[in-house]
Each structure stands twice: as structure tokens, then as C-alpha cells.
Structure 1
Amino acid sequence: MKVIVLFVFVLGALSAAGEDFFAKVGGKVTLNCGVSSYRHTLQWHHGTDVVFNVDQRGFTRKGLVELARRSVVRQNNLEISSVRETDAGEFKCLADGTRHEHSLSLFSVLVSVKPSAVLKLNGEATLQCEVIGQHHGCEVEWRRLNTYLPSNTSTVQLKPVKTSHNGPWLCFVTCGRNTFIERLAIKVQEPPTTTTPPSTPKNVTFVTSV
């Protein structure tokens, strides 16, 4: 009896594990391809759009998408400037037939203080650090030198406001191995000191008799 063994070959690019990248809207981000070198071709895709195509001579051709005009390939990695919300999504780096799939999540950070950035001594205030967008569970906390703050504090209550609260406050947003910092300047205004003006002598009229 003859045994016929069929081998089925699937043609296509090999896949390698990718990374999850994070960036702030308006900032800059570098997506690592996952390879240090290639022999023939290197391609970067955003979804189904071609962003860059680099041949074995190092000649680079940009894609027709708007993202390509804000990007550059450095050492096989894709560097994106002036990041926009539309840049979020899936990216692929194809190096000699090996596909490295990555994702880019974007967010915005809004720092605020109520009632205003100029606070009155002994008053009350609330500091808020809000992450807006696809942050996937990023940790948010306020930090300040020489001041103890509980961890994971996106909101800080200043009650009462002290002179030591004056100056810069830092909001740290940690997403995986990436950390982003937003600054907030606070000015504590002390009440004006009241002083008693010196008394001025009244006009005195002397009457002399002759």
C-alpha cells in the first residue's frame, strides 16, 4: 500500500511579535521596526497604506498618504512628528518578507486647576490631570519635589492652600515603558499686609496777645 503525503505550503510573509506604542497628540513618536538590518527591502505600512518603501541601495520612496509627509525612516525605524489622532492604529514593518506588526495608541493630557492658577493663601483648590483618548489603562499621578503625594493621584485637593504649594507641579502619565510629563505652574497669592499710616500733625494756630 502506498501512502501519499501531501505538503501544503502557505505563501506569505512571516509574522513576528510586535510592540504597543503610545504617543501624545501633537508630539513625536518613534516606532521600532524590530530588525537591525535587512538585505533587500524595507516597508512601513499604516493599515493598508504604504508609508515608506526602502530598497537595498537605501533609496527611499514615500507613500502618497499625508502621514508620510510628517515621517522619516531612521535606522529602519519610523519617526512620526506632529502626531495626529488619525495616526492611531496598526502599523506593519516588512523587512525581507518578515512582518512585524505594531500598534499606536494616542491620547491627550489636560492639566487644570480650579478655581484658577493664581490661588489665595489658606483657600481651596483642585488639581486635575485628565488623560483623553486611547490610553489603555495608563497610570496618572501628580508629583512634586519635597511634597508627599499618594500614588496614582490624578486629582489633588489643596485644602488649605499653603505658600509651599507655589511653583511647578508635574503630572506623570505612564503607559507601559513610556512616561510623559505635563507641567502646571501655580502661584500662591498672599493677602496684602495692612499697615497703619503714620499720623500727620494737625495744623496748630498760636494766638499771642500784645
Structure 2
Amino acid sequence: MKAVGLLVVLGALSAAGEVFHTKVGGTVTLQCGLGIKEVPMVKWYHKDNQIVGTLKNGQTVKGESSMKERIKLKDSSTLEISTVKEEDAGEFTCETVKHTLLVVSVSTTPSGPVQKGSRVDLGCEVKGVEPTPTVQWKRPNGKLQVSSKLESVALSDAGKWMCVFSYGGKEYTDSIQIEVKEPTPSTTTPSATQTSKSASGPSQPKKGVNVKDFLTKWWKWITAGVCCLLLVIIVIASIFFKRIKRKKKLQMLRTGRQSLRAKKYCQCDQPTAARKPQQGRRKGNPPALIL
């Protein structure tokens, strides 16, 4: 009678099963029986659907299920589920043992690093039991968060946030990391008033404008203006010198003409010298006789 009572107690304990919980994408291991590692023939069921079993020769046979490629038997009876999904949550049965798998999905919206002062929504869903357990959030400093919505994130909110819920008299937690960063500085766009002021005169560096870029632009404009001024001066000087040169050339031509006219006048208007009178006949042969 004592042996029978012991078997009944062990059967009752084994039938109670255990509660397992994991995140989406995690791995969980379920045992068939209470402390029994190897069972000659086992059959595992998920929500009354057989997912895997062993034959007398030890061969493993898998049923048609969404987790077919993600399950395997260890020690011929222990069930291992990898890359857990939300639809894997629920009741798993092996012989008289019933386990409950809770799949927890924690998230933030928006995901990834968030800017200081932005809004963040915290999400924590528990799949596998009905009704769904009530969840709470704990801040990185350990204090409870009243709402799952953070209206304005501060730098002190960065860290590990814990999703806490209770089931079967036990408390379970899962966490998510929140990263908060300073907002990136944005360049200010000039308004219509500033545009009209800049059109009427040189603009001054405003608050929020890069002074280095402003000085660089002004230096380029000044350099271009100086180059244009030098070019204008060179053109004017070349025209001026050409005019002076042309004027000198004309003056030299006029001076040369006047000198030529003066010499011609002296040669043409000067009277010819009178012939000297003959003083006696030249000695020589007498003139020939006219026939």
C-alpha cells in the first residue's frame, strides 16, 4: 500500500508539470517526467497535436507542425526548442506531464537608440496563458514605472528596463536595453526678414551659423573684388599709356614735317650768284672762219 501511495504522489507531482518562460528567439528545454532522463518510448504533444515521438527501435519521428525544424529530442526524452516563436507558447504534454511555456516579447517604439526629449512606448506581451498576466515596468534605478509611455526621454532613462509579471504565484522578468543620445544640432534656415536684410546690405554672422564658413565666403568675395579692381586698373593704365604714346608719335611727325619745309624754302628762294665779268680774252686758238 505504501508503494502504491508513493507512486500516486509521484504521478500527481509529475502531472503538475512546470512553468517555463523565454523570450522570442530564445531556447528552452522541457523534461518528460520528474527526474527521468531516459524513457524508452515517449510522445510529445503541443496543444493536443503530436510534434515528436520515439519508436521501440529508438527512431525519432516528427509530426507536421510549425516547429518541426526547430525541435529535437535529447537523452531520448528531453525536448529542446530553439529559436522560439510566439506561436510556440502554450501547453506541452509528455505522457502524464504537462508543462506550460510562456513566451515573452519585449520591445520599444521606436526601436534602437532614441533622442533625448523624444517619446518612447514600452511593449511587453506574454503569450501562453489566458487571461494574459498584468505586466509592470521597472526603471534602470529599480523604481516602478506607472505608465508604459515615456513622453520625454531623459539621459537618466538610459539602461536596462525590466518587464515584470506574475503567474502561478511566481514572479517572472524580462529586460530590454534603452539607449538615449543627445539630439544632433540642426542648421537654422534664414527667414524672409533675414533674406531682405541680407539683400540690402552685408549680413552679419547670426547665432547658430558657422563663423568659419561665413568668414571663408566673405574672403572669397573680397578676393574676387580685388582681382576685378586690379584688372580694371590695368586696362585703364594700358589705354592711358597707348594714348600718350600715340600723342608723342603724332607730335614727332609734325616736328619732322616742319623741319623739311624750312630747308626747302631756303634752297628754292635763295637768289643765284651773278656771273663774274670776263677780264680779257682767254688765250687760245682763234675762232674759226665762217665760210
1:78 equivalent in structure 2? 79
Partners of 2:97 and 2:29 in 1: CA distance:
15
* Matched residue SS, 2:182: strand
1:30 aligns with 2:29: yes
Of structures 1 and 2, the one with the larger relative CO (CA 8 A, separation 6+) is 1
Partners of 2:153 and 2:88 in 1: CA distance:
43
Per residue, is there more helix in 1 or in 2? 2
Would you say how many aligned residue pairs link Structure 1 and Structure 2?
A: 181
Segments of structure 2 that go 5 or more residues without pairing to the other structure are 1-10, 187-207, 226-291
Partners of 1:158 and 1:26 in 2: CA distance:
29
Matches within 5 A, 1:87-98: 87-94=88-95
Sequence identity, in percent?
25
Q: 2:160 aligns with which of 148, 151, 170?
A: 170
TM-score, normalised via structure 1 length: 0.61
Partners of 2:171 and 2:79 in 1: CA distance:
18
* CA root-mean-square deviation: 4.0
Partners of 1:21 and 1:188 in 2: CA distance:
39
Q: Per the alignment, do residues 62 and 153 of structure 1 end up closer, same or farther by CA in structure 2, a change over 3 Å counting?
A: same
Q: Per the alignment, do residues 19 and 57 of structure 1 end up closer, same or farther by CA in structure 2, a change over 3 Å counting?
A: same
- Deviations 1:127-160 (CA, angstroms, capped at 9, x unpaired): 332123537325442443xxx3522555364757
Partners of 1:149 and 1:38 in 2: CA distance:
43
1:126 aligns with 2:119: yes
- How many Å apart are 1:61 and its aligned residue? 2.2
Matches within 5 A, 1:32-181: 32-33=31-32, 34-55=34-55, 58-75=58-75, 76-94=77-95, 99-113=96-110, 117-120=113-116, 124-134=117-127, 136-137=132-133, 139-144=135-140, 148=141, 150-152=143-145, 155=148, 157=150, 161-162=154-155, 164=156, 168-175=158-165, 176=170, 178-181=172-175
- How many Å apart are 1:25 and its aligned residue? 3.5
1:188 equivalent in structure 2? 182
Partners of 2:92 and 2:124 in 1: CA distance:
23
- Deviations 1:164-202 (CA, angstroms, capped at 9, x unpaired): 55xx53232345464322223222126477675598998
Segments of structure 1 that go 5 or more residues without pairing to the other structure are 1-13, 204-210
Contact map agreement 2:139 2:161 (CA 8 A) in 1: yes
* Matched residue SS, 1:86: helix
Contact map agreement 1:118 1:186 (CA 8 A) in 2: yes
